Amino acid sequence: MVWGAGPAEVALTSQFKSLGLTIPLLFSHAEASTLYTKPAGAAGDGVIIGSSIGGIGPSLPANYPGRSVITGFADTFQKNNGYYPPEFGFDAGGAIAMIAKAIGSNGATPQGVDAALNHMTITTGDGTYNFTPTDHSGLSVDQVAIARDQNGTLVPTEFTKAMIAKTP
């Protein structure tokens, strides 16, 4: 398991494969991006990567809750940037949506934003957040995907496919 970010992970992937290692190579959400999968190329095939649910958006069933939000963000991002959004793109888009909703419902004061965020439910490319005064993470574990690099595309692992199948 490698918790890192940047081009070093591409070099590590290449070296890992060239050594013939057969144990799984796992990366954090930071590599859930074509900025990793494309330069890693064939050496990245099979690498396991943590991701938001949006990272595997094209693999989600049509009836998956929040798929339209994920697809809407991803389509706009891809049209403007020429590639599928990375993990951090989904994170930033979600943060902007949260702040906009908080300001829209309670005003732009720090107290108003805080009050709104403490009682907010919102679906973003990262999944559906349910914030409470005691839960500032807001995401449940079923909103996190474990993906596999397959020819430069993040696809769900069997574990994530089973999780998705259980989603109402």
pLDDT tens readout for residues 115-142: 999 999 999 999 999 999 999 999 988 8
Residue 167 has pLDDT above 90, yes or no: no
CA–CA distance, 69 with 36 (Å, rounded to integer): 24
CA–CA distance, 140 with 142 (Å, rounded to integer): 5
C-alpha distances (whole Å) from 29 to each of 148, 160, 165 are 12, 15, 22
End-to-end CA distance of the chain: 31
Q: What is the pLDDT of residues 35-86, one digit of tens each?
A: 999 999 999 999 999 999 999 999 999 999 999 999 999 999 999 999 999 9
Claim: this prediction has a pTM higher than 0.95: no
